[in-house]
């Protein structure tokens, strides 16, 4: 499952979805909305995406993981729209018969998402200002 959603992300649901009887390990990463960036207080975040391309790139990352570690069961859900402090913006799950490589594969997955998946976050600060993350030039 590789999808973009506007709905609340539920880790239990994804865990249930990915888990198969032959699995002995599930590693899950949740990216959550932090209350500050470099000390500046965040009010909320807004996420925007090029959905068609984002889902395609997430699928490709799953394929990369399959090539590198022979792990077939990878799922990613990225939420867009207005998110508040503590919300999960992205959930990645990796499952395999044994835990070997699952931690590394999950870590690789989030690193790759941040490189190539077209999702952008806008910081809305407590002071009312706002800024697209990465837009500092």
Nearest to 130 by CA among 35, 120, 122, 40: 122
Nearest to 1 by CA among 28, 39, 41: 28
Residue nearer to other proteins on the CB measure, 13 or 133: 133
Task: Count other Cβ atoms within 10 Å, centred on residue 104.
Answer: 15
Task: Count other Cβ atoms within 10 Å, centred on residue 18.
Answer: 17
What span, in angstroms and rounded, lies between the C-alpha atoms of 94 and 66? 11
Minimum gap (Å) between residue 56 Cβ and other proteins: 6
Minimum gap (Å) between residue 46 Cβ and other proteins: 10
Binding site for other proteins (CB under 8 A): 48-50, 52-53, 56, 113-122, 132-137
Residue nearer to other proteins on the CB measure, 16 or 115: 115
Helices (H), the chain: 11-18, 51-69, 102-116
Residue nearer to other proteins on the CB measure, 21 or 39: 39
Residue nearer to other proteins on the CB measure, 72 or 132: 132
Minimum gap (Å) between residue 96 Cβ and other proteins: 25
CA 67 to chain centre: 20
Minimum gap (Å) between residue 99 Cβ and other proteins: 27
């Amino acid at each position: 499952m590789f999808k973009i959603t506007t709905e609340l992300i539920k880790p239990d649901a994804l865990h249930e979805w990915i888990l198969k009887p032959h699995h002995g390990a599930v590693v899950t990463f949740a990216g959550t909305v932090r209350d500050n960036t470099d000390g500046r207080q965040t009010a909320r975040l807004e996420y925007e995406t090029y959905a068609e391309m984002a889902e395609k790139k997430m699928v490709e990352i799953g394929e990369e993981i399959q090539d590198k570690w022979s792990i077939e069961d990878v799922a990613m859900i990225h939420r867009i729209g207005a998110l508040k402090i503590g919300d999960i913006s992205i959930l990645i799950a990796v499952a395999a018969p044994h835990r070997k490589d699952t931690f590394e594969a999950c870590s690789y997955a989030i690193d790759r998402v941040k490189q190539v998946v077209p999702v952008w976050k806008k910081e809305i600060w407590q002071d009312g200002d706002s800024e697209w993350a990465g837009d500092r030039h």
